[in-house]
């Protein structure tokens, strides 16, 4: 059994005729922060819930630190879903006490430390009075109180203002720096991901398109620009291409590009956008 924090081997999850995930194989290294990206419906939430043990794969297997995940919440994993699991009538302090009561393994000091990092959260305020950002932060503090080795975050930043996004990401980074927690974070906000993630897992239509160290992935891709009407002869894979009256621009994976074409390595945003555009074109072509 692979002893990595998270290892998925040929994982598929089907809901009737919908193939939410298909043949997904990847590994998350210890202490890595991985951005989970993909278009709507790519399978991100399904994947996070399988790793957490909230659902079972149709086929294939997932292990967390060498232990097979078998469809129940793994003690080493915390998952923060889009529906933040908070009781509206409780104060933040009461919410933390509830966290202690609901979890066999719980560190009140860790949860408190996390809350203390958040200047904006009043521990005596009722949850229902908190802003979206403060709720997310309280939910993350609850998730971290379980002392997870693997932290799964499903779109934690989507409804936060820039300041709350920044504070939330700093909370996650503090956790990684202090405890070496492995983080898998799904988000559509590519700039934020670029600030905190060192690994990338890109899904499209339930399949892994790209997985690994971001610097290595970017180094393996080129943005290629040349005159319109000239064929791009490359032994690499053309992920995406676009054309104007004057020029052709393409995202190419691996291989070499003939002279006469300008090449640069993409940044994370350009890389992900290239894959997302290609995904949309494939779907349009099938309609
Ligand atoms: N419980 C379910 N029953 C039936 N189909 C489902 C169920 N959960 C997910 N799906 C389908 O599986 C596919 C993947 O959904 P999923 O929510 O994992 O995607 P996602 O990448 O998280 O999307 P988004 O970015 O919109 O949140 C979609 O086609 C979705 O409709």
- For residue 229, CA distances in Å to 185, 238, 257 come to 41, 16, 16
Q: Quick one: 65 and 152 in the same domain?
A: yes
Q: Quick one: 177 and 248 in the same domain?
A: no
Q: Which of 215, 237, 266 is where one domain is finished?
A: 215
- Residue closest via CA to ligand 1's atom 10 equals 20
Q: How many domains does the chain have?
A: 2
Q: Kindly give the number of the ligand 1 atom that is closest to the alpha carbon of 49.
A: 18
- HSE-up (13 A, CA, CB side) for residue 152: 25
Q: Which of 189, 215, 241 is where one domain is finished?
A: 215
**Among 124, 129, 118, 131, which Cα is nearest to 95's?**
124
> Is the complex ipTM higher than 0.90?
yes
> Residue 250 pLDDT > 70, yes or no?
yes
Arithmetic mean of pLDDT, 16-43: 95
Higher-pLDDT residue of 185, 88: 185
pTM: 0.91
Q: Check which CATH number belongs to the domain holding 48 and give it.
A: 3.40.50.300
Q: Quick one: 50 and 180 in the same domain?
A: yes
Beta-strand relationship, 77-80 and 150-154:
parallel
Question: What is the band of 119 on the pLDDT scale with cuts at 50, 70, 90?
Answer: low
Arithmetic mean of pLDDT, 218-226: 95
Three-state SS letters, the chain = CCCCCEEEEEEEEEECCEEEEEEEEEEECCCCEEEEECCCCCCHHHHHHHHHCCCCCCEEEEEECCEECCCCCCCCEEEECCCCCCCCCCEHHHHHHHHHHHCCCCCHHHHHHHHHCCCCCCCCCEHHHCCHHHHHHHHHHHHHHCCCCEEEEECCCCCCCHHHHHHHHHHHHHHHHHHCCEEEEECCCHHHHHHHCCEEEEEECCEEEEEEEHHHHHHCEEEEEEECCCCCCCCCEEEEEEECCCEEEEEEECCCCCCCCEEECCCHHHHHHHHHHHHHHHHHHHC
> Residue 184 pLDDT > 90, yes or no?
yes
Q: Is the CB of 58 under 6 A from ligand 1?
A: no
pLDDT score for 25: 97
Q: Quick one: 80 and 193 in the same domain?
A: yes
Question: What is the band of 264 on the pLDDT scale with cuts at 50, 70, 90?
Answer: very high
Q: Quick one: 184 and 248 in the same domain?
A: no
- For residue 8, CA distances in Å to 26, 57, 84, 176, 220 come to 5, 10, 26, 22, 23
> Residue 221 pLDDT > 90, yes or no?
yes
Cα-trace Rg, the chain: 21
Q: Is the CB of 18 under 6 A from ligand 1?
A: yes
Residue 153 lies in a domain: yes
**Among 136, 163, 23, 159, which Cα is nearest to 80's?**
136
pLDDT tens, position by position, 189-204: 888 888 899 999 999 9
Q: Is the CB of 133 under 6 A from ligand 1?
A: no
Arithmetic mean of pLDDT, 104-108: 80
Q: Quick one: 117 and 166 in the same domain?
A: yes
Least confident of 109-118, 170-179, 220-229, 248-257: 109-118
- Residue closest via CA to ligand 1's atom 1 equals 15
> Residue 99 pLDDT > 70, yes or no?
yes
Arithmetic mean of pLDDT, 210-234: 92
Q: Is the CB of 17 under 6 A from ligand 1?
A: no
> Residue 114 pLDDT > 80, yes or no?
no
Q: Quick one: 198 and 234 in the same domain?
A: no
Percent of the chain with pLDDT over 70: 98
Q: Quick one: 120 and 253 in the same domain?
A: no
Q: Quick one: 242 and 210 in the same domain?
A: no
Residue 155 lies in a domain: yes
Domain that residue 269 falls in = 220-286
Mean pLDDT of the chain: 89
pLDDT score for 133: 81
Higher-pLDDT residue of 267, 88: 267
Percent of the chain with pLDDT over 90: 48
> Residue 274 pLDDT > 70, yes or no?
yes
pLDDT score for 108: 81
Cα 215 to ligand 1 centroid, rounded to whole Å? 29
Cα 205 to ligand 1 centroid, rounded to whole Å? 10
Residue 1 lies in a domain: no
Arithmetic mean of pLDDT, 140-154: 89
> Residue 98 pLDDT > 90, yes or no?
no
């Amino acid at each position: 059994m692979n002893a990595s924090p998270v290892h998925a081997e040929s994982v598929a999850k089907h809901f009737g005729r919908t193939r939410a995930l298909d043949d997904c194989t990847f590994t998350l290294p210890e202490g890595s922060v991985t951005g989970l990206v993909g278009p709507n419906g790519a399978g991100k939430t399904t994947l996070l819930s399988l790793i957490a043990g909230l659902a079972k794969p149709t086929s294939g297997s997932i292990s967390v630190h060498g232990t097979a995940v078998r469809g129940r919440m793994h003690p080493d994993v915390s998952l923060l879903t889009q529906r933040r699991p908070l009781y509206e009538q409780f104060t933040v302090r009461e919410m933390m006490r509830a966290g202690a009561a609901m979890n066999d393994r719980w560190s009140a000091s860790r949860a408190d430390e996390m809350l203390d990092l958040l200047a904006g959260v009043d521990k005596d305020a009722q949850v229902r009075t908190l802003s979206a950002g403060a709720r997310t932060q309280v939910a993350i503090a609850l998730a971290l109180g379980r002392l997870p080795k693997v932290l799964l975050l499903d779109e934690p930043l989507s409804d936060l203002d820039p300041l709350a996004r920044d504070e939330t990401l700093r909370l996650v980074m503090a956790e990684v720096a202090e405890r070496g927690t492995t983080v898998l974070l799904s988000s559509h906000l590519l700039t934020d991901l670029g600030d905190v993630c060192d690994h990338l897992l890109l899904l499209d239509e339930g399949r892994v398109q790209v997985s690994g160290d971001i610097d290595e992935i970017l180094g393996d891709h080129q943005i290629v620009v040349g005159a319109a009407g000239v064929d791009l002869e490359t032994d690499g894979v053309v992920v995406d291409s676009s054309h104007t009256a004057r020029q052709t621009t393409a995202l190419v994976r691996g291989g070499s590009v003939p002279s006469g074409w300008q090449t640069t390595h993409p940044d994370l945003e350009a890389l992900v956008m290239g894959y997302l555009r290609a995904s949309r074109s494939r779907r349009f072509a099938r309609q």
